[in-house]
Every structure is written in structure tokens, then in C-alpha cells.
Amino acid sequence: MRVLVCVKRVPAVAGLITLTEDERAIDTKYVGFQVGPHEECAVEEAVRLVEAHGGESVVLTLGPAEALEQLREAMSIGANRAIHLVTDGADWDAESTAGAIVGAIRADEAANGPFDVVLVGNEAADSGGYQVGVRIARALGRPAVTGIKGLSVADGTARAEQEAASGRNVFEVKLPAVVAVLEGINLPRYPSVPGRLRAKSKPVASSSPDRPAQRLEMRRLVVPATEAKQAQVLGRGAEAAQAVVELLSSVGVL
């Protein structure tokens, strides 16, 4: 079985977000980078599929030269090799991202045969486009399932589960297929030290696709105004318990 997993390098913001002066990016002077939670799980799922069925998993990113870090990270938990579509760091909209990924898939498949499963995150952690997976599927004429929290593959069919009101919906689609996953589908492993060492010598194929005109053209980022609150301190330590009970009863939850 051949599995492709697509990841996006994003800033590891946690607290207050500050923007660059041109207001077109997050100021990352003091923050690191990572792939989003959905994609961490997608990588884990790719590695598990190959552990269960044999074959190879390939990790792909479209991003700046530094995104090699995220590819190595994925290879350190088990992805076999990587495809790096190198950009100059400019923002790519989801439609052009999908287009470049489709080009890379076609090229790899021409040499190595089809990817049985293409895994993506349900939505990118930063831009939340909700569409790269279904665009890839449409271009390749494959089925896509989205919002997936459970996946198993047997006899050329994927069984995929999606959370719905009071239960889960089950889809069954023929492979090859595109699966957009959500965090919670699995608990990703941490890379081991030998895993990190092995990742350093795994192959990375790089190319630089052209960035087409952006039809969803990001112009400016804005940090939304939130009402700046300052919590009323009810007390310190165990002594505060009585004040908390009074609060609970005054808001009617006791």
C-alpha cells in the first residue's frame, strides 16, 4: 500500500498573536513552528497504515525551505520519504496549494503507481480553508471523505467514521481515496532518538512550483478585538472554597 500525507508548517502560537508590520503574517520572532494537530494525527495514521499493510508512506509539504524541519519530524516517526514543494514563503491560497499538490501526486504516481490513500488534515491549523482534500480528490477523480475520526482499510475499501449528532456516520469508499482527518483519530507517538537519526538520511525530493494568481487573495490579517477582562479573584488556595460555593449558588448551578 502507498500512502501520501500532506502537512503544512504553521507558527506554534499559543498566547497573544502579534502581526508583522505589513499585517500579512504572524510575527514569528519569538515562536517556533509545527504542523497542526489534525496533520500530526494524519502522519500517525499514515505510518500505522503502512505498519499494518506494508508499503511506503510519503510526506509532502508546500512551504518555505525551513519546512524541511516538519518533513524530518514526520519521517522521524516513520514516514519513508518526503516531497518538498519549495516556496519563497508567500501565502498560497487553498486552491493553488491543491493544484501544486495534484501536480506532485501525478508525477510521483507516474513513476511509482497510485497512492491508495492520500491523507490530509480536515482544515489547516492557520488558514482553515476546509478544501485542499476535496480539491485533490476532484482533480484526480477519487472519492473524498472529510471530518474523519476513525479509519480502517481492507480489500481495496476504506471504512471511515465521522462524528455526527448522537453517534457516528460510516462511509465506505473504494481506494484510491482521499481522507481528511481530525485530531482524535489516534494518539500520535513521539519520535524516538533512533527515529530522528534515521530521518536525517531519508530521501527528500524538492521542486519549486510556480505560484498562480491568487483567486482567494489574502490582503490583511487582523487580531480581533476582545473585551479585555480582568478576573475577579475570589481568594487563594483552599480558603477560597466558600466563596466559590457562593458563586455557584448565585449563578444557579449548585
Partner 1 sequence: MATVLVLVTTADGAADKVALQALALGRQLADGGAVHALVIGDAAAAAELGAWGASSVHLAQHPQLDAPAPDAAARILDDLAGSLGATFVVGPGTEEGNTVLARAAARAGLPFAANCSAVTPGSPVTVTRSRWGGSLLEEAAIHADRVILTAAAHVFEAVDTGGSADVAAFTPALDDADLAVRVVGRVPAPSGGVSLSDAKVVVSGGRGAGSADGFGPVVELAGLLGAAVGCSRAVTIAGWRPHTEQVGQTGTKIAPELYIAAGVSGATQHLAGCKGAKRILAINKDPEAPIMTAADYAVIGDMAEVLPAISAAIRRARGA
Ligand X SMILES: Cc1cc2nc3c(=O)[nH]c(=O)nc-3n(C[C@H](O)[C@H](O)[C@H](O)COP(=O)(O)OP(=O)(O)OC[C@H]3O[C@@H](n4cnc5c(N)ncnc54)[C@H](O)[C@@H]3O)c2cc1C
Ligand Y SMILES: Nc1ncnc2c1ncn2[C@@H]1O[C@H](COP(=O)(O)O)[C@@H](O)[C@H]1O
Closest residue to ligand X, judged by C-beta, is: 125
Q: How far is CA 219 from the centre of its chain?
A: 23
Q: Which of 4, 6, 7, 36 binds ligand X (CB under 6 A)?
A: 36
- As given in the structure block, the three cell numbers for residue 56 are 511506503
DSSP 26: B
Of 108 and 183, which CB lies nearer to ligand X in the complex structure? 183
Could you say which of partner 1, ligand X, ligand Y, none residue 90 binds, taking C-beta under 5 to 8 angstroms by partner kind? none
- Shortest approach of ligand Y to residue 226 CB, angstroms? 24
- Shortest approach of ligand X to residue 148 CB, angstroms? 17
DSSP 192: P
**CA neighbor of 8 nearest in space, from 104, 116, 78, 85:** 85
User: Binding residues for ligand Y, per CB under 6 A?
Assistant: 6-8, 38-39, 60-63, 94, 97, 120-121, 123-124, 127-133
Of 13 and 173, which CB lies nearer to ligand X in the complex structure? 13
Could you say which of partner 1, ligand Y, ligand X, none residue 7 binds, taking C-beta under 5 to 8 angstroms by partner kind? ligand Y
Q: Is 60 in the site for ligand X (CB under 6 A)?
A: no
Of 64 and 247, which CB lies nearer to ligand Y in the complex structure? 64
Size (the chain), residues: 254
Q: Is 191 in the site for ligand X (CB under 6 A)?
A: no
Whether residue 94 contacts residue 103, with contact meaning beta carbons closer than 8 Å, is answered with no
- As given in the structure block, the three cell numbers for residue 186 are 489516534
Could you say which of ligand X, partner 1, ligand Y, none residue 39 binds, taking C-beta under 5 to 8 angstroms by partner kind? ligand Y
Of 12 and 154, which CB lies nearer to ligand X in the complex structure? 12
Distance between CA atoms of residues 158 and 156, nearest Å: 7
Q: How many residues bind ligand X (CB under 6 A)?
A: 5
Q: At CB < 8 A and 24+ separation, what contacts does 24-28 make?
A: 24/91, 24/218, 24/219, 24/220, 24/221, 25/91, 25/221, 26/126, 26/221
- Shortest approach of ligand Y to residue 116 CB, angstroms? 17
